[in-house]
Amino acid sequence: MIGLGFDSLAALSTQPATVLAADLPDASLSQFGQDPWWVIALKALFIFVILVLLTLFNIWFERRVVARMQHRVGPNVHGPFGLLQSLADGVKLALKEDIIPKAADKVVFLIAPVIATVPAFITWAVIPFGPEVNFFGHRTPLQLTDMPVAVLFVMAIASIGIYGIVLGGWSSGSTYSLLGGLRSSAQMISYEVAMGLALVAVFLYAGSMSTSEIVAAQDKLWFGLILLPSFVIYVISMVGETNRAPFDLPEAEGELVGGFHTEYSSLKFALFFLAEYINLATVSAIATTLFLGGWAAPWGIENVWDGANSGYWPLLWFFGKVFIFVFLFVWLRGSLPRMRYDQFMALGWKVLIPVSLAWIVAVATIRVISLEGNINRTYLVAAIAVLLVLTVALMFVGEKSDDTEVEASDEPHDAFAGGFPVPPMPAGGAVRGAAAPLTFAASSGGHTTVTAAAEENPDHE
């Protein structure tokens, strides 16, 4: 598959993005910035409504799918198929008591959920939903706006959302919240590096950072196939970026109770919850836009149906691809256990980032050499494959196990040797079963009264 990707990459990299986008209309930025104010306002309103409804649906969808995976029914009471359960949960959160801890920094504590939520909505301003359509009598693209560096805009806005989580954990005045905020910031920053590197290959191949032009450049073949390593790295990174299982370490209830939002309740907790699920949809929409052709119809449909990529039909293809990624998120949560934190960070820094760097070098080399045409492509693909194999192999060289066997010693155990009072093991080893029963002195007659456990064991002294 990687070899096929190299061949396709080398064959198509000689064609400019404008040729690849010939069959898709309006592959330039000239169509943006021409809308009247009421069209912009309606677009922004529709995006807001769609994201809120999408969040309610994704929560219901996740609960239903996980329930089926665990042989349960899931929400099925409120509304048809339980579709109104998420709305009922939202109303319940709004009516709950709003508690602010005494030790919290009140101003930052209140602002942090807003900082986490607002960037999640802003990111969708540059996501293309479809081509140019008739919008209440005005011709406009199904996209709020676009810019030459739209993907960098998305990455920058997503980075701002991290501040909401960090400040929320810090301002709570709780150790659990502080540790959860720090862990979340380290996790997001680490996986944003791998995510950004995965997108470099897309920029090199599409010749643009505009989301609409990247969609147009995938007219012949989706980047998810010809840039398969980048696609895999991005999918892994987006799960870590959104703090979802098996990478939901900032909210690990086993050691951090609830993580950065432990002290939050009512609407402030609902905002954090809303931001998480909008970010889930955001990374899915970005993956759809950059790797799966965006709003373009799947292969073959446009050949039998001329109107598949015109009008409002592309909305169906776009959200269909997004829901595939949403299902992937739910599937992972219902299937995989939570990773250990050091393993999770090692995956990001020792595996994903080195592989991304090696892949970027490979893509850049193939593009330059293919344009010049001085080297046989077969030898080039073989050399790149060997380089990738060596890169992966070097990740596992030199790693030593930290587990060391402790040899038994006959010397007496010093409970305070390490500075902490650790009780010594019993002389005969660990005791199995119930502990030794207690005996009590009788009130008269000099006899003792033995507990029921001792009466059941007459051999005990």
For residue 187, the number of C-alpha atoms closer than 13 Å in the C-beta half-sphere is: 30
In the block, tokens 């703090």 appear at 243
Cβ-proximal residues to 428 (8 Å cutoff; 6+ apart), any chain: none
Per-residue pLDDT band at 2 (split at 50, 70, 90): very low
Element (H, E) at 450: strand 448-450
Which residues are 134's β-sheet partners? 139
The two tokens of residue 288 are 């759809």
The two tokens of residue 36 are 């009247």
Rounded to two decimals, what is the model's pTM? 0.76
The two tokens of residue 362 are 């490979």
Q: Phi-psi category of 445—alpha, beta or left, where left has phi over 0 and alpha has psi -120 to 50?
A: left
Please write the tens of the pLDDT for every residue from 431-452: 666 556 556 565 555 555 454 4
Closest CA to 327 of 288, 297, 383: 288
For residue 297, the number of C-alpha atoms closer than 13 Å in the C-beta half-sphere is: 17
In the block, tokens 């080297």 appear at 375
Most confident of 172-176, 239-243, 251-255, 352-356: 352-356
Mean pLDDT score across all residues of the chain: 80
Q: Answer for the pair 85, 79: CB distance below 8 angstroms, yes or no.
A: yes
Q: Specify the range with the lowest mean pLDDT, choosing from 21-25, 310-314, 361-365, 395-399.
A: 21-25
Please write the tens of the pLDDT for every residue from 7-60: 444 444 444 433 333 345 445 677 788 889 999 999 999 999 999 999 999 999
Residue ranges of E strands in 130-209? 132-135, 138-141
Average pLDDT value for residue range 400-418: 55
Per-residue pLDDT band at 257 (split at 50, 70, 90): confident
Separation between Cα atoms, residue 114 and residue 164, nearest integer Å: 7
Separation between Cα atoms, residue 163 and residue 256, nearest integer Å: 19
Average pLDDT value for residue range 126-137: 91
Separation between Cα atoms, residue 27 and residue 124, nearest integer Å: 19
Contacts of range 312-318, beta carbons closer than 8 Å, 24 or more positions apart: 312/130, 312/133, 312/142, 313/130, 314/129, 314/130, 314/131, 314/142, 315/129, 315/130, 315/142, 318/129, 318/130, 318/285, 318/288, 318/294
Q: Exposed (0-12), middle (13-18) or buried (19+): which is 176, by Cβ within 10 Å? A: middle
Q: How far lies 416's CA from each of 181, 386, 406, 422, in Å? A: 34, 54, 18, 7
